[in-house]
Structure 1
Amino acid sequence: MKGFKVVIVGGGSSHTPGILQSLVENLHRFPLQKLVLYDIDPDRLELVDTLCASLVAKLDPACTYFTTTDPEKAYTDIDFAFAQIRQGGLKMREQDEKISLEFGVVGQETCGPGGMAYGLRSIPGVFGVIDDVRKYSPEAWIINYSNPAAIVAEATRRKYNNYKILNICDMPVAIMLSFAKMLNLKKYNDLDPVYFGLNHFGWWTHLYDKSGVDRMPELKEKILQFGLAASHDKHHSDPSWRHTWENFKEILTDFPEFLPNTYLQYYLYAKESAEDMDIHYTRANMVMDGREKDMYDQVRLLRESDGAHQVNLNLFNAFGDFIVDVACSIAYNNADRYLVIVENRGAIPELPYDAMVEVPCYLRKWGPEPVVIGKIPQFQLGMIQQQLASEKLIVDAYFENSYQKALEALTMNKTVPSAKVARKILDKMIQANKGYWPELH
């Protein structure tokens, strides 16, 4: 079996230990010849390198491992780049969330004005990664995990036609893990989903088990009776996520035809969602006080004990298995079926051909092949069309340096109550994002 050469871009992230753990656990099917952690922040790299020493020790002795801040060293002679960058870090995420809430609008990382602010920061950062990978390893696959995935995917489609670029998100995986547990199944991929929509904006219509039985009716009954069981990883079990899992039952009660992505709460109940949020302590603060603090604490304990401390890797569990699953299907031409973000090309006939949709795809060596979903109901179609227009407009704003397009994007978004509010948020976001956003005029 060939050993693969992989670089984790944004290697200083607190998600990296979870991805490394999955890589180590899956060496039997995805062997590594080279593993590189790349980041622009050397201090974060050192932190993650120290934290993950016990995992690195489990790599094959023949596997080359190193960390670097040099893109040439990172990207030369690689097969896969797993990209998970966060432009502006958690401090800018906090700004996105709190500026939105200041005007009574949902303050969230990928939804509403916060998602669009983050998108305008992420696009140039992701473009920089792609350009560097193409310079040093032109045929490497880029598996992009960077948020906001919908906006980033639309931007990469326009600039690169997504050649050997696949945008993915672990949220459907996290939700499907909860579905599986409620059905007494072990893994997210014990269920074969039929799903349609945009990233963080979609619905499940069927959930088939390995025997071909649709478990959706049974699951709906359980959720309506007991609610949605929280995901079993720490990252999706803190107070804000528990509130999200509780809201799932409400969405299903109001709209019982399909099972929703949890992020739909921010669009269906925008006013109530904003009122439930604390402007003084947003999700960004929770991450800083949770996963980020855990990382620093574990490294401190390691250093104080001269390496004797046993790192609790469960604190950093991420859906790294999904990245490995996707990479395996591409590398071996397995044509396994996963939910990923792709150009529509008729999968949902009523949507534009070039819409970036999230649907089941067979992943081949040459890329994803989407499953045809067919016609969808008017309610879901109308919601998707509105959200899609908002996402395309914010990408227009990036490419055209257009204040007007950015204003239209915010005004179009279902989380924003009026154009006046949209303008106030946009003007404040422009000030907060100086140096990150393109100049809008």
Structure 2
Amino acid sequence: MKLTILGGGGFRVPLVYGALLGDRAEGRVTEVVLHDLDAGRLDAVTRVLAEQAADVPDAPEVTATTDLDEALRGADFVFSAIRVGGLEGRANDERVALAQGVLGQETVGAGGIAYGLRTVPVAVDIAQRVARLAPDAWVINFTNPAGLVTEAMSRHLGNRVIGICDSPVGLGRRIARVLGANPREAWIDYVGLNHLGWVRGLRVAGRDELPRLLADPGLLGSFEEGKLFGPDWLQSLGVIPNEYLHYYYFNREAVRAYQEAHQTRGAFLRDQQARFYDEMRDPSAAAFLAWDRTRAEREATYMSENRETAGAGERDADDLSGGYEKVALALMRAIARDERTTLILNVRNQHALSVLDNDAVIEVPCLVDAGGAHPVAVDPLPDHATGLVCSVKAVEREVLAAAESGSRTTAVKAFALHPLVDSVNVARRLVDGYTQVHPGLAYLG
């Protein structure tokens, strides 16, 4: 089975390959094709994968190419993990937004809109190529903003594109662990959009254990989200929000922390990864050890500004091992082998959440089999959550409209409608600022 990874020179690719190395079952991936526009990054990652596989018999064969069409032909699965504009683009997203006093995070608020505006045209081109060159392939989208990009691609690929994220999985695992339950045996009642969702229940043997957690401030304060949001706020909500909702519930504090930080997250990762790729220019460097050391530092500093604002302290060791690659492997196995499973995924609504139309991509539990991912119908969200979901989905739709039409006016509308952008004038200045630093936004007329 052939797997093509777009963005194959990206830093997190070894996580995916590591998951593939552990899969020994019949029908596993035997061929991995890495595609990237940067040949140097491809070479670096290929070296890391070779060292990963050194002691693994019959490891999947790895090839690399800068030719997109060549990479796609004959693929059974396509992982889209591109970063349009690179980490320099992410750093610029943050800088321009913070200069206007609003959030520049890559998936939330102004930064997410800017990232979406330059990524959607590229993602649409990829979707059209997949439809033409590999019409039977399944596309698994890692590219942020994941829900928005998945929806853009779904307009050309239908249900054959599925978005994944490790945040809901990690949240469910942490809740189950605190409650003494096995995550594999728990049903996580989770619903929302990517990076905008809530756990409303965790059922074990038919019994919802979440009320027990919400009633115990000590338990609530013992895991990542409890430390971020505080037990009192979680009890007030009556649900456990995805960690990214910290940007909404504590927006002023988050913006101030990012403005006062020595470096934004994007700038930190840009510099950190530049050091790694520079080190890989030395042919004698131990590629995998250098990558693993860099990865550990990356994970330990994840959302550090938010945790500092909340006084949450360091991340728990159990939360430093990633997870999205495990979701990807489970999804691929379920489809390729009809190994039926349940996963929280980004898929078209298809009547699952009544407040949104059927084509809107949402993040919900799905039953996965050889026919793809089938969203499970969910109860309506509480009003406060419904308002956020509808507002952010409306913004996503404006981003898609702006990317399709090239309309600068529509791009301004997308920024202005976002709940974390507080002024039409700020929205206009954001569009001005982003078009100045991003050549990929030159299409906005």
1:284 aligned residue: 266
**SS in structure 2 opposite 1:32?**
coil
**SS in structure 1 opposite 2:208?**
coil
1:322 maps to 2:327 = yes
CA distance in 2, matches of 1:122, 1:251: 38
Q: 1:203 deviation in Å? A: 0.8
Which of 50, 69, 74 is the matching residue for 2:71? 74
1:19 maps to 2:16 = yes
Distance 1:323 1:223, change over 3 A: farther
Q: Is the 8 A contact 2:84 2:119 kept in 1?
A: yes
**SS in structure 1 opposite 2:259?**
coil
2:435 aligned residue: 430
Q: 1:421 deviation in Å? A: 1.1
1:395 aligned residue: 400
Distance 1:50 1:374, change over 3 A: same
Q: 1:138 deviation in Å? A: 1.9
Which of 338, 342, 348 is the matching residue for 1:333? 338
2:379 aligned residue: 374
CA distance in 2, matches of 1:207, 1:46: 44
Q: 1:192 deviation in Å? A: 2.1
CA distance in 1, matches of 2:403, 2:291: 42
Distance 1:274 1:180, change over 3 A: same
The number of residues matched between the two structures is: 419
The one-letter amino acid paired with 1:303 is S
Q: Is the 8 A contact 1:336 1:363 kept in 2?
A: yes
CA distance in 1, matches of 2:377, 2:167: 22
The one-letter amino acid paired with 1:430 is T
1:130 aligned residue: 127
CA distance in 2, matches of 1:359, 1:260: 14
Between 283-292 and 123-132, report the one with greater CA deviation: 283-292
Q: 1:179 deviation in Å? A: 2.4
Q: 1:258 deviation in Å? A: 0.9
Q: 1:117 deviation in Å? A: 0.6
Q: Give the TM-score, by structure 1 length.
A: 0.86
Q: Is the 8 A contact 1:153 1:341 kept in 2?
A: yes
Distance 1:400 1:254, change over 3 A: farther
Q: Is the 8 A contact 2:202 2:210 kept in 1?
A: yes
Distance 1:404 1:336, change over 3 A: same
Q: 1:300 deviation in Å? A: 7.1
1:203 aligned residue: 198
1:118 maps to 2:122 = no
1:439 aligned residue: 443
Q: Is the 8 A contact 2:52 2:288 kept in 1?
A: no
**SS in structure 2 opposite 1:176?**
helix
Q: 1:303 deviation in Å? A: 1.6
Q: Is the 8 A contact 2:214 2:234 kept in 1?
A: no
1:363 maps to 2:357 = no
The one-letter amino acid paired with 2:63 is F
1:258 maps to 2:258 = no
* Residues 253-307 of structure 1, C-alpha deviations (whole Å, 9 max, x = no match): 474311101111212222222112136511112323546645655x4787246x8
CA distance in 2, matches of 1:295, 1:181: 37
Q: Is the 8 A contact 1:202 1:261 kept in 2?
A: yes
In the TM superposition, what are the counterparts of 1:22-421 in structure 2 within 5 Å?
A: 22-28=19-25, 31-58=28-55, 60-61=57-58, 63-158=60-155, 160-184=156-180, 189-209=184-204, 211-221=205-215, 225=219, 227=221, 229-230=223-224, 246-249=227-230, 252-253=233-234, 255-278=236-259, 281-290=263-272, 293=275, 299=280, 303-304=284-285, 312=292, 315=296, 317-319=321-323, 320-421=325-426
Structure 1: which 5+ residue stretches go unaligned? 231-243
Distance 1:250 1:93, change over 3 A: farther
Q: 1:94 deviation in Å? A: 0.2
Q: Is the 8 A contact 1:108 1:115 kept in 2?
A: yes
CA distance in 1, matches of 2:110, 2:159: 29
Q: 1:33 deviation in Å? A: 2.3
The one-letter amino acid paired with 1:278 is Q
CA distance in 2, matches of 1:124, 1:348: 27
CA distance in 2, matches of 1:185, 1:289: 40
CA distance in 2, matches of 1:109, 1:318: 18
The one-letter amino acid paired with 1:363 is V
Q: Is the 8 A contact 2:344 2:363 kept in 1?
A: yes
**SS in structure 2 opposite 1:303?**
coil
